[in-house]
């Protein structure tokens, strides 16, 4: 069912785009379905220019002959289509399981609209059950980790951090050359204040809270796809 739901959400996003638009391409298992579908459309004459949010997505898009450019070459993007690890009733997201949160946020910030595609399991009443990825500089990373651990429980109900380890048993390194610590906050009580507190830590590059960025969410389950708007 998970495969079906993710594919259904990705397919629903196709109806949100038009030929000639400039698109941001997300990263992750659900976004991968969308890129595959877009590749089929491009092969049949659909016109677009796209900015990928990761090296992984870039490789996929190139294999499908999807035209790519860099973000600095465009004034703005029309739409970015991406997945989410959690999304609450206010359409605040947790993203970053794939390790591309920094680039994803940069690309999303330059889009007129952000469309999130996900299966229904990603909808939650309260953020935080899924660990929040926090991208940090490699320099003095242990010091940065300790500073994050000192963030008070005014914003969260728990604070346990774990350095993300890659498949090679070494610290996972993002496309930007940074580490990621996954924060097990249990429940996020105030996403906006938590965001500010994290960004005030000097070694934090970015975090996976996407606040006031998602405009449309296409959420799929056994009954079909439900469209939510902010």
**206: phi then psi, degrees, rounded to nearest 5:** -170, 165
Residue 86 exposure: Cα atoms within 13 Å on the Cβ side: 22
The pair of three-digit structure tokens given for residue 52, joined into one six-digit string: 């990928």
**108: phi then psi, degrees, rounded to nearest 5:** -60, -35
The pair of three-digit structure tokens given for residue 153, joined into one six-digit string: 């429980």
Residues marked as catalytic:
104
Contacts of 150 (CB under 8 A, 6+ apart): none
CB atoms under 10 Å from CB of 133, counted, come to 26
Q: Which residues pair with 114 in a beta bridge?
A: 80
């Amino acid at each position: 069912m998970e495969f079906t739901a993710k594919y259904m959400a990705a397919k629903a996003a196709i109806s949100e785009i038009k030929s000639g638009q400039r698109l941001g391409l997300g990263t992750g298992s659900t976004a991968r379905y969308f890129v595959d579908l877009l590749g089929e459309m491009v092969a049949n004459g659909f016109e677009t220019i796209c900015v990928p949010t990761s090296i992984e997505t870039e490789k996929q898009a190139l294999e499908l002959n999807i035209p790519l450019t860099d973000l600095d070459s465009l004034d703005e993007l029309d739409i970015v289509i991406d997945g989410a690890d959690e999304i609450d009733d206010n359409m605040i997201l947790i993203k970053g399981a794939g390790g591309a949160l920094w680039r994803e946020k940069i690309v999303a910030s330059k889009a007129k609209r952000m469309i999130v595609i996900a299966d229904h399991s990603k909808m939650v009443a309260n953020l935080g059950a899924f660990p929040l990825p926090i991208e940090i500089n490699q320099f003095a990373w242990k010091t940065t980790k300790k500073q994050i651990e000192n963030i008070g429980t005014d914003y969260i109900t728990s604070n346990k951090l774990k350095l993300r380890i890659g498949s090679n048993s070494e610290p996972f390194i993002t496309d930007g050359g940074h580490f990621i610590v996954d924060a097990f906050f249990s429940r996020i009580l105030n996403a906006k204040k938590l965001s500010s507190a994290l960004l005030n830590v000097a070694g934090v590059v970015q975090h996976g809270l996407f606040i006031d960025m998602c405009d449309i969410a296409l959420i799929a389950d056994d009954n079909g796809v439900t469209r939510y708007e902010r």
